[in-house]
Amino acid sequence: MTPETKGDRPPGPADDPDILAAAEATQAQDDIDDALYESGLPGVLGVADRAIARLEAVALAIGVLAMAFNTVANVVGRFVFGRSLYFAEEVNQALIVLVTFAGMSYAARHGRHIRMSAITDALPPKARKAMLVAISALTAVLLLVLAWFALSYVISQAGRGRVLPALRIPQWWIIVWVPAGFFLTGLQYALTALKNLRDPDIWLSTAVRDGYDLPQKDADA
């Protein structure tokens, strides 16, 4: 038997224009360009959202590059000059906190947090939308509560006047990113819930639609 050519075989899922369009949209979402980021929020909220998005992207880029440079410099100092950088560990700890909690909000803004979507993907669009609203709202509440407790902890640490042993800077300068990250991420989920309530489409974030929201086909087609 000779293998079937594309013209000989019956059309399959890979030939469905709706599936191809959804795949292209998903690929476009995967290629994040922060310089071209457009907020899905109106007016002043959109301007503030774009500004925060730029700050997050800059903080993440600087944090990752600084960690790499600091680690390489410490290794070179240890094995080439026989002396490590005494502040390298504390610098990396501070940068890890920055990258982690700035990255939380960044990922929420772009709909990149890991989702267990096996159940929601099997639901009809209206039920999937309702579940996404509920999940976004509950996540927002949880993160905002965590932001409040984290802020209380930062204030208590600032009152104690503790400093880092090597860098000699106040400890709260480092952990202030924790409540900031919780708050911005919680705000993103709250805005996502509101957008899903007001918009007919299904949104993973204020700027990213659900890529699996395909038009329903006639069962007999």
Q: What is the pLDDT of residues 104-163, one digit of tens each?
A: 999 998 888 887 878 877 888 888 889 989 999 999 999 999 999 999 999 999 999 889
pLDDT of residue 37: 67
Mean per-residue pLDDT of the chain: 81
pLDDT at 216 over 70: no
pLDDT of residue 219: 33
Distance CA 107, CA 112 (A): 5
Backbone angles phi, psi at 115, to 5 degrees: -125, 135
- Which range is least confidently modeled, 79-88, 138-147, 180-189, 211-220? 211-220
pLDDT of residue 119: 82
pLDDT at 13 over 60: no
Please report, for residues 50, 107, 117, 204, the alpha-carbon distance to residue 114 in angstroms, rounded to integers and kept in the order given.
23, 9, 9, 11
Q: At what angle do helices 88-109 and 177-198 cross, to 10 degrees?
A: 10
Please report, to the nearest 10 degrees, the dihedral formed by the alpha carbons of residues 154, 156, 157, 161 taken in order.
Answer: 130
Handedness of CA 66, 71, 75, 77 (dihedral sign): positive
pLDDT at 190 over 70: yes
Please report, for residues 14, 20, 121, the alpha-carbon distance to residue 10 in angstroms, rounded to integers and kept in the order given.
11, 17, 27
Confidence of residue 80 (pLDDT cuts 50, 70, 90): confident
Compute and round to an integer the Cα radius of gyration of the chain: 23
pLDDT at 213 over 50: no
pLDDT at 5 over 80: no
- Distance from the Cα of residue 66 to its chain's centroid: 21
pLDDT of residue 172: 92
Domain boundaries, the chain: 41-198
Distance CA 140, CA 144 (A): 6
pLDDT of residue 45: 76
pLDDT of residue 82: 86
Confidence of residue 210 (pLDDT cuts 50, 70, 90): confident
